[in-house]
Chains A and B, each alone.
Chain A
């Protein structure tokens, strides 16, 4: 935990510095008769972020904040594996949406999650994986007319549009 606290503060400090640099693309000073320039607001606030990071590091050195005192592991093996599988499967699902669309990725994700991560039986897992996309379709595409991404499965939906829209 102690190490993670420092690493996070340093990473965030680097990020703040990047934001300061990026904000400085627009004027960051005071323009007479007009007030602050376009980059001033994000620039000075990122400076504030950087100062906060420095403050966090000072507190880390002095061991004031709870996280900098804790000798506990930041993520134990259990936490690491649950984070890896859950966040990983979501990432894969979002990536798949680009190719096989929501109606392909969602059932795969649900099946994977309920059957393998959740340890449910095949029956309920399959049922959930098949029913959810149907509900999504009717709620979003038909009732609210929000088109969800379909990737290359799009032509499969033309006949459905013909019926319901």
Chain B
């Protein structure tokens, strides 16, 4: 019951006029930053960090938390409407969100995304409120070996996401992984794959560069070709009634949302993992347990609900290791940690004891931010739909410009813009030849995490490859991952045997 009174105390802080105003402003601002391809929550929080020096620390983190939340909601908007994931956390949302928009169901997809985000956020905040300290121990027990096992699990859950052409799907995964190796080899400290000694390759190939290139430029070229000069590509409609109807699909997506919320939260609290693997795994699991897995990727609202609930749940989850251990659970929380330095607060186990008002004010404001982000998002849906109804010959050049500026923004390096154009053109040509592109985009996110954690655990164990199975947590995860890897194979063998039997 102590938690309850602390929470009430927190709510009185969250409802102070200044804090409430900051929550609403932060949510709205975050929504737009998240909706821009290229600018995700990381950039939003980093850019607005110094502004928060002007208010007390509790208000500051409430503001940044609201931006974080708003950006998570906003990421879905560009994924659904333009098919361009604004941040790595929203990649999985494009798989079904984009097909829904192309079918003229953009408003339904947006409503599904917003409500799933709300439910995911709320569940994770409740879990956070109830189980913060014990879960911090779980996060601490996670070492490099466990991290590698988790990455294997993430790969295993989306093994079925590729197309029917096995060599092309594998090729896509491999090229994504190789591109992710560009830059610096952290273990040996040596530069690696620096093509032509160009310094721009030193910081590696950012996920965003590949994603905006492939989805923003490549897919747009493809759409322009297939639409053959038609004025509008997607029919989009919105009325109050349709939005209300959108809420009715909630029952259909309930299971997917629950999977996303819990999975997202638990993956989120693990250091270094963050929302991206969480949302991918939620998509994979939702597809596996769905009654109609074959409709995934063709505009099933469950495929929007699962990753969206997961990425919001994970963003709350990743605050846990930040506050209790002082280690970032995601790139955005790494910057929030920097904020705590600015405000003179020491993250770590003592924070919950010494700065109760800060912690509980933040938790309470997350509840409030979640509610406002939902309202603001729903309120803006008609405006977003209006944009979609612009003639395509106006929308297309604007999207190209957003891609270029969005590709430039995070690193402020024209090198990345050129690289993005290159990926766009090659991606377009590959797309025409049925090479699936999503596996490459996912691989570039997970590749570095998988490689580094594998090599760190091997170093720690003196080159013992069984280290991943000897430790209880990583062993369990590895076994699950291997079973998931083998499932499609078993199905294949069974199918072949079955055919032989009948034939």
Contacts and interface: CB of A to CB of B under 8 A. Distances in A.
So, do A and B actually touch in the complex, CB under 8 Å?
yes
B397 A113 contact: yes
B424 to A, nearest CB: 8
B432 to A, nearest CB: 7
A113 B193 contact: no
B383 to A, nearest CB: 15
A65 B463 contact: no
B170 A35 contact: no
Nearest to A42: B181
A148 B405 contact: yes
B171 A23 contact: no
Contacts of B177: 41-42, 45
Nearest to B193: A22
B332 to A, nearest CB: 15
Contacts of A23: 178, 181, 192-193
B433 A5 contact: yes
Contacts, number: 166
A66 to B, nearest CB: 7
A42 B414 CA distance: 26
B224 A82 contact: yes
Interface residues of B, number: 60
A122 interface: no
Contacts of A120: 391, 393-394
Given A26-B185, A26-B190, A113 B393 contact: yes
Contact of B192 (A26, A145, A149): A26
A84 to B, nearest CB: 11
Consensus secondary structure, chain B interface: helix
Contacts of A78: 225, 228
Interface in A1-44: 1, 4-5, 8, 12, 19, 22-23, 25-26, 30-39, 41-42
Contact of A41 (B170, B424, B451): B451
A86 to B, nearest CB: 6
Given A86-B221, A144-B47, 8 more contacts: A22-B193, A74-B432, A83-B428, A87-B421, A90-B421, A93-B400, A94-B418, A146-B47
Interface of A: 1, 4-5, 8, 12, 19, 22-23, 25-26, 30-39, 41-42, 45-46, 48-49, 52-53, 55-56, 59, 65-67, 74-75, 78-79, 82-83, 86-87, 90-91, 93-94, 97-98, 102, 106, 109-110, 113-114, 117-120, 124, 128, 132, 136, 140, 144-149
Interface of B: 33, 39, 43-44, 47, 165, 167-168, 170-171, 174-175, 177-178, 181, 185, 187-188, 190, 192-193, 195, 217, 221, 224-225, 228-229, 391, 393-394, 396-398, 400-401, 404-405, 408-409, 412, 414, 417-418, 421, 424-425, 428-430, 432-434, 451, 454-455, 458-459, 462-463
